[in-house]
């Protein structure tokens, strides 16, 4: 039986500013680094068969801190990236709402298949996340696996593991650096 410990990256400056990060490679801020150290302490009594992380530095940095405390390596996998937000990346949420009112409204009605210009849909994110976790579970069929990723990407996994419709993914975005355990399979 495989259990995933899902962790959203630590805090970044863009989190504080209310900017869409998407696949922009934004580093952790000082609070995010402190969250990573605290997370490593929280997880010190758990044994992980493997540690996987998105290749984006805000996730990779927290995974490396936890992995060092666990005396393990981090397996980098780009499938664990956040949703690609296209033209919305780096933009403030209020600016996006003002510049794309129709698209913003469509997303509220159909969050699974509406995409930011040049971006990715939640369904596409879910498909790559599920494929990655299925593979990790096949490689490590028993025990705990740590997965460090991003808010909306992890929300798709949380929805599936909780038998919640993926349309509710925006409601399931985890807090920064807070472990969430799910059974997979």
| 82 assigned to active site | yes
Per-position DSSP letters for 136-172, written without gaps between them: HHHHS-SEEEEEEE-HHHHHHHHHHHHT--GGGGGGG
Which of 82, 84, 89, 120 is the catalytic position? 82
The Cα 21–Cα 103 span in angstroms is 18
Give catalytic status of residue 9 as yes or no: yes
Structure tokens at 80: 């664990």
Nearest to 26 by CA among 63, 64, 59, 58: 58
Question: Tokens 């849909």, residue?
Answer: 121
Task: Return the C-alpha torsion angle 178, 124, 25, 183, nearest 10.
Answer: 20
Which residues lie across from 19 on neighbouring strands? 92
- Helices 57-70, 30-42: inter-axial angle, 10-degree rounding: 30
Among all residues, which ones are annotated catalytic?
9, 82
């Amino acid at each position: 039986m495989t259990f995933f410990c899902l962790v959203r990256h630590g805090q970044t400056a863009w989190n504080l500013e209310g900017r869409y990060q998407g696949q922009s490679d934004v580093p952790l801020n000082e609070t995010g680094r402190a969250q990573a150290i605290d997370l490593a302490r929280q997880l010190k009594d758990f044994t992980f068969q493997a540690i996987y992380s998105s290749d984006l530095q805000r996730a990779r940095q927290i995974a490396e801190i936890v992995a060092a405390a666990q005396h393990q390596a981090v397996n980098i996998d780009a499938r664990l990236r956040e949703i690609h937000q296209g033209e919305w990346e780096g933009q403030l949420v209020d600016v996006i709402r003002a510049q794309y009112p129709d698209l913003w409204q469509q997303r509220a009605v159909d969050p699974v298949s509406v995409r930011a210009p040049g971006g990715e849909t939640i369904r596409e994110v879910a498909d790559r996340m599920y494929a990655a976790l299925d593979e990790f579970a096949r490689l490590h069929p028993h025990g705990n696996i740590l997965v460090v990723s991003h808010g909306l990407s992890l929300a798709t996994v949380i929805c599936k593991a909780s038998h919640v419709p993926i349309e509710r993914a925006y409601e399931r975005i985890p807090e920064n650096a807070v472990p969430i355990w799910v059974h997979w399979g």
